């Protein structure tokens, strides 16, 4: 008996079936792949629907009512949204968020890039320096806010340091001066979050080939020219991601501001999130607070879409394989 007869499937009464064995078709493979994807994605999908989409839908529903949480709900239409957009305090809060976001890009970004380039060099104590820079980011917002609140009190540690350095004339009411409090908070925010940006940029610097720097140095390029024409362009995708995360975080800023100033003095440091909590929970205006939450979500969502369309699209397409351009 030939080898083909041995391996061929057997029919009835020991007869050899000449038909080849059936292989699973493409529909069977697709069905199995879809079932596998459904099983793997269903837990995350349930959590996403329960903790993201459902709360958004509930907030939108309550935003059309006047409701204190105790009295019966009264239909109010778009009245809550009209009140939000006409409130000068909310417009000031939005402006404060935009100021923080702008300062983050103008000040934090160059500072993060400079420190990342410095810590990427082979210098003595580099590991310790990286740990010191990143340590504030590990601290919780509550601990950071309480520590800085004590340090910025009148005659606190900051004032004492200025006095000891012979700069006593520079001491201020850091958290009580309406013209200064927002910028004081920005310093604390920078101290807290700059470590994340530096670590992110350091990770991006690891993807810059050393051969390109060596080739540029061989061709006579200075260190500044190498950084400007080679390192920074290759670091572009990481920088754009950092800008996106920084602006979104600035628009949603809450913890540090609420603990340190409660949005004061006289609303000078109010953000959209603190405005939401003040009206939605402290004043029991749940319908109005829901409208503020929806407006905050829309602002962040529109920014994310626009930024994705005009800034991150090239990076996203480059990361996908087989994408048609």
- How would DSSP label each residue in 145-169? HHHHHHHTSTTSHHHHHHHHTT-GG
| Residue bearing tokens 């670091």 | 235
Mean pLDDT, the chain, rounded, equals 86
What is each CA distance from 111 to 6, 85, 127, 182, 195, in whole angstroms? 74, 35, 19, 19, 11
242 and 250 Cβ atoms separated by less than 8 Å: no
Q: Could you tell me which residue, 122 or 161, shows the higher pLDDT?
A: 161
Write down the domain spans for the chain.
Answer: 56-86+287-318, 95-284
CA-to-CA distance for 251 and 96, rounded, in angstroms? Answer: 9
pLDDT at 320 over 60: no
* 324: confidence class by pLDDT, cuts 50, 70, 90: very low
* 4: confidence class by pLDDT, cuts 50, 70, 90: very low
Query: What digits encode the pLDDT tens for the residues 26-53?
Result: 555 777 788 888 888 899 999 999 998 9
Put residue 295 in one of left, alpha, beta given phi > 0 → left and psi -120 to 50 → alpha: alpha
For residue 141, the model assigns a pLDDT of 92
Query: What digits encode the pLDDT tens for the residues 298-311?
Result: 999 999 999 998 88
What is the CATH number assigned to the segment(s) 95-284? 1.10.3720.10
For residue 313, the model assigns a pLDDT of 80
For residue 207, the model assigns a pLDDT of 84
CA-to-CA distance for 18 and 36, rounded, in angstroms? Answer: 35
For residue 10, the model assigns a pLDDT of 53
For the CA atoms of the chain, what is the radius of gyration? 29
CA-to-CA distance for 36 and 30, rounded, in angstroms? Answer: 10
**Angle (nearest 5°) at CA 108 between 102 and 109:** 90
**What beta strand segments (E) does the chain contain?**
65-66, 74-75
For residue 19, the model assigns a pLDDT of 58
End-to-end CA distance of the chain: 57
How many residues in the chain? 325
* 212: confidence class by pLDDT, cuts 50, 70, 90: confident
DSSP for 63-128? TTEE--SSSPPEE-TTHHHHHHHH-HHHHHHHHHHHHHHHHIIIIIHHHHHHHHHHHTS--TTHHH
For residue 16, the model assigns a pLDDT of 54
Mean pLDDT of 105-120: 92
265 and 253 Cβ atoms separated by less than 8 Å: no
CA-to-CA distance for 145 and 189, rounded, in angstroms? Answer: 9
For residue 300, the model assigns a pLDDT of 95
251 and 272 Cβ atoms separated by less than 8 Å: yes
Q: Prior bond to 233 cis, omega within 30?
A: no
The backbone torsions φ and ψ at residue 22, rounded to the nearest 5 degrees and listed phi first, read: -75, 135
Query: What digits encode the pLDDT tens for the residues 72-111?
Result: 889 999 999 999 999 999 999 999 999 999 999 999 999 9
């Amino acid at each position: 008996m030939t080898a083909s007869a041995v391996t061929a499937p057997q029919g009835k009464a020991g007869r050899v079936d000449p038909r080849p064995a059936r292989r699973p078709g493409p529909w069977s493979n697709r069905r199995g792949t879809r079932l596998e994807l459904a099983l793997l994605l269903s837990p995350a999908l349930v959590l996403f629907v329960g903790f993201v989409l459902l709360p958004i839908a509930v907030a939108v529903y309550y935003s059309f009512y006047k409701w204190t949480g105790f009295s019966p709900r009264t239909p109010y239409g778009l009245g809550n949204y009209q009140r939000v957009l006409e409130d000068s305090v909310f417009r000031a809060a939005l402006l404060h968020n935009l100021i923080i976001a702008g300062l983050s890009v103008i000040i934090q970004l160059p500072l993060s890039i400079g420190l990342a380039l410095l810590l990427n060099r082979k210098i003595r104590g580099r590991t310790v320096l990286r740990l010191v820079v990143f340590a504030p980011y590990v601290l919780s917002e509550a601990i950071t806010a309480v520590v800085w609140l004590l340090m910025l009190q009148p005659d606190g540690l900051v004032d004492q340091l200025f006095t000891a350095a012979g700069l006593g004339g520079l001491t201020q009411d850091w958290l009580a001066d309406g013209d200064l409090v927002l910028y004081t908070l920005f310093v604390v925010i920078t101290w807290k979050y700059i470590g994340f940006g530096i670590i992110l940029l350091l990770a991006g610097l690891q993807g810059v080939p050393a051969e390109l720097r060596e080739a540029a140095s061989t061709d006579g390029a200075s260190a500044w020219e190498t950084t400007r024409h080679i390192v920074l362009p290759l670091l572009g995708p990481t920088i754009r991601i950092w800008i996106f995360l920084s602006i979104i975080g600035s628009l949603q800023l809450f913890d540090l501001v609420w603990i340190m100033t409660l949005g004061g003095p006289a609303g000078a440091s109010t953000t959209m999130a603190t405005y939401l909590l003040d009206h939605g929970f402290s004043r029991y205006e749940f319908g109005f607070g829901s409208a503020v939450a929806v407006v905050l979500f829309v602002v962040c969502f529109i920014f994310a879409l626009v930024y994705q369309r005009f800034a991150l699209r090239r990076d996203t397409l480059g990361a996908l394989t087989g994408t048609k351009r």
